[in-house]
Structure 1
Amino acid sequence: MLRRAAYAAIAASLLAVGACTPITTYSGFQAIEANPKDVKVGTDTKSTVRGRLGSPSQTSTFDPNTWFYIDQIKETVAFRKPVTTRRDITAIQFDKDSEVVTSVNQLSLKDGKVIAFNGRETPTRGRELTIMEQLIGSVGRGQMLPNAEDEGVPGQRPGDRR
């Protein structure tokens, strides 16, 4: 009887410890055969980089000649928010005319910056409807079925009678 209780206590403690192990999630570019760090400045071109590494994770918004290869690892423990434990970004810049690599920069999680977003909202015209006004607002309007006048209104397909 004492042995069974001891085994049950050990099993319960193993389950409790197992529930707290982090779940690791890998996302982004996963280097399998080639590494973005192996790109050579002055010798590689857009086509050789794309052939070796594949399409970039992201291109620059303002300069299509800057490619980013991004990978990150997140860990989640139980019900908590995921925490990014590692992020590696390789930024490859190409010459605009010759498409030859001009620079390769390595960035990590330490290079990131926290951005404080503005939580305010831009007001819109009109007034906000209450829940009751939203629920019964269209009851007396008679707009449940389309009218014959709605034919040819932009956004309607010809002959569509929904």
Structure 2
Amino acid sequence: MFRRIAFAALAAGLVAATSACSPIASYSGFQAIEANPKDVKVGVDTKSTVRGKLGSPSTTSTFDPNIWFYMNQVKHRVAFRRPQVVARNITAIAFNKDTEMVESVHNYTLKDGKVIAYNDRETPTRGREITILEQMIGSVGHSILPPNDDEGVPGNRPGDRRGP
């Protein structure tokens, strides 16, 4: 009897432990509901038909407003680890400037991406850094009011600290 209870408790513990390690998926970006961006046809669709099928683009090109991007990605997160991107789809649709007809449709996935190595060095600034103690001691004895540089200037009363 004791063995059955111990075995059941062990099985329940293993199920709980393995379910805690299952990934949690999160979806972000463009979600294809009725139409897929890959279904856009070159030379047939226009800006208005693409907007009617797919809705507004995720973004447009910085330098050419005639290139639309539809983007989405899927991330998996396991327990306390950092989320990991497992799928990314980007569809770039280029339109003719004059006729607004679709000129090209390009599909990119996670495999097409490139890892960029950022330089984490900082640009040095001039001067020296002072410590917190130096900041506190350095402000002792200094007046809160600004210096009176207008002393003796015509039109000012002696001892007047108001601005002109």
In which range does the TM-score fall when normalised by the shorter chain?
A: 0.7 to 0.9
Equivalent residue letter for 2:64: D
Equivalent residue letter for 1:142: I
Q: Superposition pairs for residues 110-121 of structure 1, below 5 Å?
A: 110-121=111-122
1:142 aligns with 2:144: yes
Corresponding residue for residue 122 of structure 1: 123
CA RMSD of aligned residues (A): 2.2
1:49 aligns with 2:50: yes
Residue 127 of structure 1, CA deviation: 2.8
SS in structure 2 of the partner of residue 17 of structure 1:
helix
- CA, structure 1 residues 110+8, in 2 after alignment: closer, same or farther (shift >3 Å)? same
Distance 1:22 1:118 in 2: 31
Residue 148 of structure 1, CA deviation: 6.7
Corresponding residue for residue 25 of structure 1: 26
- CA, structure 1 residues 66+133, in 2 after alignment: closer, same or farther (shift >3 Å)? farther
Residue 137 of structure 1, CA deviation: 6.6
Identical aligned residues as a percent: 64
Q: Which has the larger radius of gyration?
A: 2
Distance 1:14 1:134 in 2: 57
Which structure 1 segments of 5+ residues have no match? 150-162
Note the alpha carbon deviations across 1:10-31, whole angstroms, 9 max, x for none.
1111111011101111111010
Aligned length: 146
Note the alpha carbon deviations across 1:95-139, whole angstroms, 9 max, x for none.
112211100001111111111112121223333232334567767
Distance 2:24 2:125 in 1: 42
Corresponding residue for residue 149 of structure 2: none
Corresponding residue for residue 39 of structure 2: 38
Distance 2:36 2:139 in 1: 60
Note the alpha carbon deviations across 1:23-51, whole angstroms, 9 max, x for none.
11111101001110111111211121112
Corresponding residue for residue 2 of structure 1: 3
- CA, structure 1 residues 123+148, in 2 after alignment: closer, same or farther (shift >3 Å)? farther
Q: Superposition pairs for residues 76-95 of structure 1, below 5 Å?
A: 76-95=77-96
Residue 4 of structure 1, CA deviation: 2.1
Which structure 2 segments of 5+ residues have no match? 146-160
Corresponding residue for residue 65 of structure 1: 66
Distance 1:84 1:29 in 2: 15
